[in-house]
Structure 1
Amino acid sequence: MTLFRTTMILLLLAVLCGCSGDADDIGIVARVNGSPIYLTQLEFQHDQIQADSVGAYVPSVEKLSSEYGDILADLIVQELVSQELKQRDLAVTDEELRKAEDAVRSDYPEGAFEKVLVEEYIDLKSWRMQLRYHLAQKKFYQLVLRPQIKIDYKEAEKYYRDHISDFYLPESLRILVVRGPSRELVEKAVEKYRQDRDQMNLTTAFGEVETREVVVREGRMSAAWKNAVSGLEAGQSSPVLADKFGFEALVLLDRSEAKVLEPAQAYPLVEEALLESKLHRAFEQWLSDKLATAKISVSEHLLTQTLEDKPLEEVGEPEEIPQETPEEAGDFVESQEPPEN
């Protein structure tokens, strides 16, 4: 959604008003049609930005203000998307959320996911909330925006002609790489492959031999590989090459000449490019329409005392900034100042 941040922030200027700051608003930084956005959500997103930073992170006042503004704009858009899905009876279900979480967890060994959360100071509840927003965004694009979009064949033809250079394919080579611990073993494996044309049999007949098939552009090949395959015809192999990891030989499977994709071949790429562009425009139009009628309010502390009001020297490193409890969140901006030294 970063593509829409500028539009979002400009449109928000016309609809924002301040929250009252009473007891009911403690811990809330904004409301979207009555639904709250919590300080913890804002902090969670900002923590992720800081986690991606390398080395000491000492942001300027201007950068902090920009970061918090961008994050809040994103959260407001995400909430609007979620509300739209709910109105259409398409809201992300708990079952969909569970399956998505299980898919993420499956990438980690047992118990490692929880360990990462602890090590990275990631709150599981906030992580799940953000995952739900992410699923809502995908669902919104697929089930709400995508059905509205049509791509005419004339439009596709024009895009193809206007972007013909995007469909140029340079010369490439498909190569079978045969690796082994000795020159003699690699030579025997290559000889067997040239006789049988069966890649799978090589690992059976020669247990220490590894094979892999690669497609590489000639202009991106290393000097050693380029020299090795120079002059080879399809089916021929290079001499055995030695490096610090062992020995390898290259079998040229086929060579594709440089060409421009025909319109029929290029159509999936054309459709993808046109679809992405139209989805973005459709989303911007939907967002503009929604903001025209949405009731969005932001905490008076964020409106009346922004970070830009603070002198530069008052902004310290992140570890110096005290972490508020939800009960203190009504004074969010004020409490971001580090303790005096």
Structure 2
Amino acid sequence: MKRHIAILFIFAALLAGCSGDADDIGIVARVNGSPIYLSQLEFQHDQFQEDSVGAYVPSVAKLRREYGEILSDLIVQELVVQELARRDLSVTDEELRKAENTVRGDYPEGAFEQVLVEEYIDLKSWRRQLRYYLAQKKFFQLVLRPQIKIDYKEAEKYYRDHISDFYLAESLRILVVRGPSRELVVKAVEKYLKDHDQMNLATAFGEVETREVVVREGRLSAPWRNALTGLKPGQASDVLTDRFGFEALVLLERSEAKVLPPAQAYPLVEEALLEKKMENAFEKWLSGDLAKADIQVSEHLLESAAKPGDDEASAPAVIAEPEEPAAEEAVEPPPVEDDMNGQEPADEAIPMDQLGTDTGI
């Protein structure tokens, strides 16, 4: 989605700032009237920054730029959701439930919830982003894909123009036999060369491990290259010794360098052409939809979206500073978190420490 941010920047001058009504507190943008909440923005930012938490304290300019980019993605995602709704193709609750259960199925019972707690991930925010992901996938499959056709002449031209992409270097298919002693490896290799049954080796020699690998000729390590020199398929190398134990290499197959013929290359050609055409179709749709969309963005983020590529030194300062109280009204500015009262009911209020004290839009 990052590749589409530039399109949003083109239309940044057309975006109107949100009003400062109390109902808008906690909202960073509206897309055709539908709100995008600060909680969504901060959830996405937290996910992108989870690997660097505590590593550094980002500058205000860097933080503003990151938030502007994430907001651009959220706006595009919301436009996709609205387009699906117009076509009566919205992601259903049942589709969302199945997708969530698929993710949960990758974890032992109870582990998914534990990960959410340990990673400070809000389940409602996670589900909302999952719905966005499903919507984008559905949009590409059901809306854009039917519009795209690949002509065989186009495929032939792509194959000729990118013939180097279909070059396969010489490769070797190797059976690696490892064990705790030289004698055990030798016996295991002898049995394999006699029976040609890899599975029986683990039964006959409990401490022997085997694995089959395919390696390009140019990527062989020096010891392996020396051990395989002169071997023909079906022959084994001498036993090699390293700090992890003993191993021998059985050469199973040697594939000569070749260029994939058109028939074999066609699935790869089709995939490459389809990806390019899908990107172009999406860019075209997005440009047209943005041109007629009513998008309102918080004044705190609008300038950061209007100047992509600014470095931290030259980025415009759009963070609002609290007004200095009059002398006779020596009062402290209200706490930052108080500004979040009234944000989206479904989400817990999130501090605005890094966006300035004015959360109105």
Pair in the same fold by TM > 0.5: yes
CA RMSD, 1 decimal: 2.6
Do the aligned partners of residues 323 and 71 (structure 1) sit closer, same or farther apart at CA in structure 2, a change above 3 Å counting? Answer: farther
- Secondary structure of the structure 2 residue equivalent to 1:193: helix
1:1-341 correspondence to structure 2 within 5 Å: 1-14=1-14, 16-53=15-52, 56-303=55-302, 308-309=316-317, 326-327=340-341, 336-337=355-356
More divergent stretch after superposition (44-53 vs 274-283)? 44-53
- Secondary structure of the structure 2 residue equivalent to 1:214: strand
Alpha-carbon distance between aligned partners in 1 of 2:101 and 2:181, rounded to the nearest angstrom: 44
Deviations 1:284-312, CA, capped at 9 Å, x for gaps: 0000111122111123454589983269x
Residue 160 of structure 2 aligns with an amino acid whose one-letter code is R
More divergent stretch after superposition (187-196 vs 45-54)? 45-54
More divergent stretch after superposition (102-111 vs 232-241)? 102-111
Q: Compute the displacement of 1:12 (Å).
A: 3.6
What residue in structure 2 maps to residue 317 of structure 1? none
Residue 341 of structure 2 aligns with an amino acid whose one-letter code is E
More divergent stretch after superposition (23-32 vs 129-138)? 23-32
- Secondary structure of the structure 2 residue equivalent to 1:212: strand
More divergent stretch after superposition (229-238 vs 202-211)? 202-211
Do the aligned partners of residues 123 and 219 (structure 1) sit closer, same or farther apart at CA in structure 2, a change above 3 Å counting? Answer: same
Alpha-carbon distance between aligned partners in 1 of 2:356 and 2:288, rounded to the nearest angstrom: 38
Q: Counting helix residues as a fraction of each chain, which structure ranks higher? A: 1
Do the aligned partners of residues 304 and 76 (structure 1) sit closer, same or farther apart at CA in structure 2, a change above 3 Å counting? Answer: closer
Alpha-carbon distance between aligned partners in 1 of 2:77 and 2:304, rounded to the nearest angstrom: 25
Do the aligned partners of residues 41 and 54 (structure 1) sit closer, same or farther apart at CA in structure 2, a change above 3 Å counting? Answer: closer
Deviations 1:50-93, CA, capped at 9 Å, x for gaps: 21326522223332222111111100100011111122222112
Alpha-carbon distance between aligned partners in 1 of 2:117 and 2:226, rounded to the nearest angstrom: 51
Do the aligned partners of residues 308 and 334 (structure 1) sit closer, same or farther apart at CA in structure 2, a change above 3 Å counting? Answer: farther
Do the aligned partners of residues 288 and 105 (structure 1) sit closer, same or farther apart at CA in structure 2, a change above 3 Å counting? Answer: same
Aligned residues: 329
- Secondary structure of the structure 2 residue equivalent to 1:253: strand
Q: Compute the displacement of 1:210 (Å).
A: 1.4
Residue 7 of structure 2 aligns with an amino acid whose one-letter code is T
- Secondary structure of the structure 2 residue equivalent to 1:30: strand
- Secondary structure of the structure 2 residue equivalent to 1:309: coil
C-alpha contact 1:50 1:57 (8 A) present in aligned 2:
no
- Secondary structure of the structure 1 residue equivalent to 2:248: strand
Residue 249 of structure 2 aligns with an amino acid whose one-letter code is L
Alpha-carbon distance between aligned partners in 2 of 1:94 and 1:197, rounded to the nearest angstrom: 52
Residue 4 of structure 1 aligns with an amino acid whose one-letter code is H
Deviations 1:107-153, CA, capped at 9 Å, x for gaps: 22332222222222211111111111011111111111111111111
Which consecutive segments of 4 or more residues in structure 1 shift more than 6 A?
A: 304-307, 328-335
Identity %: 73
